[in-house]
Amino acid sequence: GGDTAGIESLKWMDAGAVAELIKNEHPQIIATILVHLDRDQASEVLSFFVERLRNDVILRIATLDGIQPTALKDLNEVLTKLLTGSSNTIKKAAMGGTRVAAEILNFMPASLETSVIATVRDFDPEIAQKIQDEMFTFDNVNDLDDRAIQLLLREVQSESLIVALKGTSEELREKIFKNMSTRASEMLREDLEAKGPVRVSEVEAEQKEILKIVRRLADEGQIALGGKGEEAFV
């Protein structure tokens, strides 16, 4: 890709270190940097910011259509200053927009996500709604077709599935059960019943891991995300 040394070096850094490096920059610059990073890394970087800055940056990402050349020039100067190197030119203008904001939010803990959406809604209810429409949450697994569920189940560790299902509706559990062999579904039911109380944070963490697999399968074109109309079959 057209990413360059500046952004590339950020991709290899620990999210906490990236946050420390860029947190005092203008929020627009931070937003521009984050859209160049992988969504899960961007989400983790944001989790190190104070709430006000985090919400401001997500809002800017959501309303970022394309990056102006002047902004890219500023960004290059910032990165050069931050990373001390001469080859930190970004040739590719990454796009922001509600889709990117949603993808980043998908990796955030629910509590932070709620706060961001509320801030965006105060600014522009329509943008907030668009972000929420673009977000794929664990409940949306219910919208996947049976074939997609079966593909997903092949990739998910059973321990991860047990924890993730602790916090879901009976309807979603039944959908999972019916896409397993009788024996496998019986074992899963027993394991679920035998599993003691699990922290909400653990349930959310496992659900996010499973959602990463869902997104990877969707990106690879193996499954279509239900209800989003991304792929039509004839």
Ordered by start, the domain boundaries in the chain are: 5-134, 138-219
Q: Which residue has the tokens 């499954």?
A: 223
**Residue 211 contacts residue 106 (beta carbons within 8 Å):** yes
For residues 48 and 21, give the distance between their C-alpha atoms in angstroms, rounded to a whole number: 11
For residues 1 and 166, give the distance between their C-alpha atoms in angstroms, rounded to a whole number: 40
Q: Does domain 5-134 have CATH number 1.10.220.30?
A: yes
Q: Which residue, among 26, 92, 91, 96, has the nearest Cα to 59 in the 3D structure?
A: 96
pLDDT band at 153 (very low <50, low <70, confident <90, very high): very high
Same fold, 5-134 and 138-219: yes
**Residue 35 contacts residue 61 (beta carbons within 8 Å):** yes
Question: Which CATH number is 138-219 given?
Answer: 1.10.220.30
For residues 217 and 213, give the distance between their C-alpha atoms in angstroms, rounded to a whole number: 6
Residue 234 reports pLDDT greater than 70: no
Q: What is the pTM of this model?
A: 0.60
**Residue 67 contacts residue 76 (beta carbons within 8 Å):** no
3-class SS at 78? helix
Residue with the bigger pLDDT between 86 and 166: it is 166
Average pLDDT, the chain: 83
**What six digits make up the tokens of 156?**
């998910």
Residue 8 reports pLDDT greater than 50: yes
**How high is the pLDDT of residue 68?**
63
